[in-house]
Amino acid sequence: MSCIFCKIAAGEIPSQKVYEDEAVYAFRDINPVAPVHILIVPKTHIPSVGAINSENSSIVARIFEVIPKIAEAEGLSRGYRVVSNAGEDAGQTVMHLHFHIIGGRKLTIMA
């Protein structure tokens, strides 16, 4: 297994964990763009949004059930952004499905 987020989710590479259950792992982004910048990933390897299908989409629902819990725990009552970069033009650099949870300051309009 060479995927860095698979290794982080498995505890093989250290990370600042903020949430974990049997299917989902969330940790602080190594290069934060805001006071709160967390990545949430499935423990199973899905390369990108483009690989979500009827066989694996339940994990996406699970992730979006967890996101509000993380946001509340992080004090993001004023709002936050959830982003997934999918593919080259979007700037996806890690080919393991992940959602950025960004907040803790007033965010600007996205490009």
Residues annotated as catalytic (active site), given as ranges = 98
Cβ neighbours for 102, distance < 8 A, ≥ 6 positions apart? 33, 34, 36, 37, 80, 81, 82, 83
Give the nearest distance from C-beta 81 to ligand DGP in angstroms: 13
**22, 91, 109, 110: residue in contact with ligand DGP (rule CB under 6 A):** 91
**2, 53, 54, 93: residue in contact with ligand DGP (rule CB under 6 A):** 93
The rounded distance, in Å, linking the Cα atoms of 39 and 26 is 5
Strands 99-103 and 24-28: unpaired
- For the window 18-37, what string marks contact with ligand DGP as x by the rule CB under 6 A? ---------xxxxx------
Footprint of ligand DGP on this chain (CB under 6 A)?
4, 15, 27-31, 39, 85, 91-94
